[in-house]
Structure 1
Amino acid sequence: MRKIYVLDTNVLLQDPNAIFAFEDNEVIIPAIVLEEIDSKKRNADEIGRNARYVSRLLDGLRAKGRLYDGIELDSGGRLKVELNHRSFMKMQEVFGEITSDNRILAVALNYHVEEQHKDSPRPVTLVSKDTLVRIKADVLGLNAEDYLTDRIVTLNEMYPGYLTLHVHPGIIDTFYNARFLPVSSLNLSYELHPHEFVIMKDELGTSKSALLKVSADKKKLEPLYLSNEPIWGIGARNVQQRMALELLLNDDIPLVTLTGKAGTGKTLLTLAAGLMKIEDEHKYKKLLIARPVVPMGKDIGYLPGEKDEKLRPWMQPIYDNLEFLFDTKKPGDIEKILAGMGSIQVEALTYIRGRSIPGQFIIIDEAQNLSKHEVKTIVSRVGEGSKIVLVGDPEQIDHPYLDSSSNGLTYVVERFKNQALSGHINLERGERSHLAQLAADLL
């Protein structure tokens, strides 16, 4: 039986192709949704881009017929822009105010009531990214769902970058003697990923253990090549941080992703590794540090001053970490240091789009606030001889249309986990302070 899906505005603004995601069912776009999309089309950010895309998409579909009469889609479904089910009378007893959300709810409710008077009523479902809209639908007795088609993976299922194996102590001894271990000798029922870390522990309960890394071709387990020596005064305080440094300092891995809660050391470790590669090893020409001005592309001209002064509030967390690494004593010292070095550039992502960036160590902080399209735009800017590190916490999303399962950082982690050119680690233990760790866990 065909179903009826009524789409909220936020579904189309997050995924303009959502129209085609409902197979052979009927998709209803309330007229108020078109008005809301029209109000967003002049935005300079990702939301504006999607609004313009939806507008062009619907305009192209007009060639198949009048949208208010309904048109057939290639998927076998049907699309209709609704004009005849917008009466607000049935909503007034529960939600008296005529808001955009309530008008969308009214369309879904009127369809539901109409279907109930038919011999074979079709199920009516409201699809919305807005939690409160779904709650309101439930109050009205309507079925409501989140839009899940664009979800990559749930947060609990996201690839962590390492695993723990309990093995016979003889296997650990073999590794230490030969300095490598064939993956086939472990007889695993699942496949390991390139540059994935393996913590081996004695299954008999002794303290014997080993830390290994899967080779790029996934055929053997190798020892970590880096010692645990501090870099720029920063040393690994736990095993995940050591794994992160192994990836950050490996020139054969041009894409690294680091995730973790606040205080796990993601940004500080990445900056220290970048400074070592730029200033000590001269592997790259420049250290480029950027973070999204949320929402990305938003005009920041309302802040006073020149570009650097406008960016400072957004970039302050980066400057805080740089001040720690350079051990500055006075306010303003870090600006003098950066101006004198000339090899460190702090930018907003607004100014990176459209550039080609060769021979640089690139750090994208707060990457969880990027959409899939934005992260593709940024990673595809990386030129020959560059390394890019995406850092962020998927649990702290500031973007209004993203969540922990649909953001750009999660997207990159999952799509690149089988690629030899990338590596990933999820940092779990907070090292900023006991209070910071407790806050990250409890709040």
Structure 2
Amino acid sequence: MEFKKKLFILDTNVLLTDPHAIFAFQENDVIIPIAVIEEIDAMKSRNDSIGFNARYTSRLLDKLREQGRLDEGVFLETGGILRIDIDRNNHHIPEGLAQDKMDNRILSVAFSAKDNLKDRYKKIILVSRDINMRIKANAFGLDAADYIKDKIEYESSYVGMLELKVSPEVINSFYAKGYVKLEGHNLHANECVHFRSGNQSALGIYKKEKDLIEKLVFQEVTPWGIRARNREQRFALELLLDDNIKIVTIVGRAGTGKTLLALAAGLYKVIDEEVYRKLLVARPVIPMGRDIGYLPGDKDEKLRPWMQPIYDNLEFLLYGEESGKKKEEAHLSVEFLEQKEFIQIEPLTYIRGRSIPHQYIIIDEAQNLTRHEIKTIITRAGKGTKIVLTGDPEQIDNPYLDENSNGLTYVADRFKDIEIAGHITLIKGERSPLAEIGARIL
């Protein structure tokens, strides 16, 4: 007899990454160990993305509970069956593994399924985002897999720019007319183009609605004194300053100018051109390395260390590195912008549930967000709002994400053919020679 179905046992980190993972296995069956429910319950009070996903998972399971007892199994809309496994006695934890450790209790369910259900399923697989969990499972003869739904291969992902070798006539025509139409190139919406012909070159951007590559409009604009230092930064400013492009993703290593360019363009659009009412800057509050615990002071004082990179960039825009003015004076100037409500800087947590019209929104460190969190942010955008997502997928502090599964990489790929979206990957570091070398070789 040939079995058609597979059985997937889910680790806690899968649901904390994507609560909808329950429905991600098509017609196959899914088991959630009771230890996973306990871990999710322990996470539900956290005021971050993990806490949100824990609460969301609980609501999904509570909704499914209306169909019947979860320990006996309920039907999923995908055709599979979901069951919560109690595994009361933990008899299937191998000798040498701690009996009271949550990971091993989850493994126990997988061992039990392998022993008791192998005659019912084509394959039994433990699904975990935890590398060590998969290693332990494999060491004891279990099939284990990462949760790879909606992953993008970062190494071969969309970079937002194409270099084309053309004839001198094409470049001459491009400069004369301000546009050119090329056949045989599968360009994406607002993809940036670098024409080359011997010593001649030209920069353009593909407009999908017209099916034309047009000259850059904002090459001569220097928002708040910031001038593009390389080709990719020129392209970035073109996307940031174009009001018809409503969502921009900028990827790049440390020191490539992602945040500085976005802030300069945002201030220019809010204060100089008055296109938007306010510049809203947010970033996820995720510590790098060991957390230092609670911080003293009011809300603003607590958040200042997390938001300091934003303030550093604002101070540079206000005073520049060559200025002789004191840093304390720069702080006062940033405070003036905040008091006048030109700019608002806050943690990402406070954006959820809001509707935000006519604002220029910058989400810094977006590589630490899941695709569901990115979706939540984008759906907050009201009429006339522009969203800029910046980050470095090679520097992820969220333990449940990697460079292939984070929200920034996901959005850049999914929006590449949308006419109101643009993406660019910054390559060259401009912070300092040391920063550039460090980002490249370390």
> Shared topology, TM-score over 0.5?
yes
Equivalent residues in 2 for 1:51-90, closer than 5 Å? 51-84=54-87, 87-88=90-91, 90=93
100-109 or 57-66, which deviates more: 57-66
The answer (yes or no) to whether the contact 1:228–1:242 under 8 Å persists in 2 is no
Query: Given the two structures, how large is their TM-score scaled by the length of structure 2?
Result: 0.89
> Which residue of the partner structure matches residue 310 of structure 1?
302
CA distance in 1, matches of 2:352, 2:211: 38
User: What corresponds to 2:196 in structure 1?
Assistant: 201
Cα 1:439–1:56, aligned 2, differ >3 Å: closer, same or farther?
same
CA contact (8 A) 1:72 1:78 kept: yes
Q: What percent of counterpart residues are identical?
A: 53
- Cα shift readout 1:342-396 (whole Å, capped 9, x = no counterpart): 2232222233333333333222211222222322222222333332211111222
Partner of 1:13: 16
2:102 paired residue among 100, 103, 111: 100
Q: Distance in 2 between matches of 1:8 and 1:31?
A: 10
Report what 1:36 is aligned to. Answer: 39
Partners of 1:198 and 1:223 in 2: how far apart? 10
CA change 1:54–1:285 in 2 (3 A) is: closer
Unmatched 5+ stretches in structure 2: none
Alignment check: 8 A CA contact 1:86 1:110 kept: no
Is 1:226 aligned to 2:226, yes or no? no
* RMSD, aligned CA: 2.4
Provide structure 1 residue ranges, at least 5 long, that are not aligned to the other structure.
none
**Structure 1 residues 303 and 84, CA gap change in structure 2 (3 angstroms):** closer
Contact 1:194 1:218 in 2 (8 A): no
How many residues were matched structurally? 428
CA–CA distance in 1 between the matches of 2:298 and 2:286?
19
Opposite residue 140 of structure 1, the aligned amino acid is: F
SS in 2 for 1:257: strand
The whole-number CA distance in structure 2 between the counterparts of 1:61 and 1:380 is 26
Q: Report the Cα distance in structure 2 between the residues aligned to 1:85 and 1:168, rounded to whole angstroms.
A: 74
Could you tell me which amino acid in structure 1 is paired with residue 114 of structure 2?
H
- Kindly tell me: are residues 306 and 73 of structure 1, through their superposed partners in 2, closer, same or farther at Cα, counting changes over 3 Å? closer
1:332 aligned counterpart, secondary structure: helix
Contact 2:7 2:121 in 1 (8 A): no
Residue number among 323, 328, 340 corresponding to 2:336 in the alignment: 340
In the other structure, the counterpart of 1:330 is 326
Q: Is 2:139 the partner of 1:139?
A: yes
Counterparts of 1:218 and 1:395 in 2: how far apart (Å)?
35
Query: Scaled by the length of structure 1, what TM-score is found?
Result: 0.89
Alignment of 1:212-361 (within 5 A): 212-228=204-220, 230-294=222-286, 302-327=294-319, 329-341=325-337, 342=340, 343-361=342-360
Moved more, 56-65 or 366-375: 56-65
Q: Does structure 2 retain, via aligned residues, the 8 Å contact 1:278–1:284?
A: yes
1:187-240 deviation per Cα after TM superposition (whole angstroms, max 9, x unaligned): 23x3x22211111223xxx22222111125151111111234543232111100
Structure 1 CA distance for aligned equivalents of residues 328 and 298 of structure 2: 17
Where do residues 143-162 of structure 1 align in structure 2 (5 Å cutoff)? 143-151=143-151, 153-162=152-161
Counterparts of 2:121 and 2:300, CA distance in 1: 61
Runs of 4+ aligned structure 1 residues displaced above 6 Å come to: none
Paired residue secondary structure (1:91): coil
